[in-house]
Amino acid sequence: MAVALTSSSTIADAYAQWQDNLVWEGDTTKAQNALEAVRFLLACRPKQIASETGVNINFESLQAIEQQLSNTLTRLGTGVNRAVFTRAQMNVY
């Protein structure tokens, strides 16, 4: 598990935590770590997130990722998948 990001963390720390948790589907801990990193990056709103060649991360893509992570954590947090049943009535003539 990654160390929680703090006010003294850097953009590089948040980016590294996000990269360490890219495969978060189905794993609550990794999803929480990834969400924490994405929210940190969104709060800082840096012009450049990584100095790697070919990396292009913008604010809009981070917002979409944050929404997806939040939805997944909400679903995983319930422990069950939700289903809705409606009452039906059968009339026999």
How confident is residue 1, by pLDDT bands cut at 50, 70 and 90?
A: very low
Q: What are phi and psi of 14, to 5 degrees?
A: -65, -40
Label residue 16 exposed, middle or buried (CB < 10 Å: 0-12, 13-18, 19+): middle
The pair of three-digit structure tokens given for residue 3, joined into one six-digit string: 């160390």
pLDDT in tens, 25-79: 878 889 899 999 999 988 887 666 665 666 667 777 888 889 999 988 888 775 5
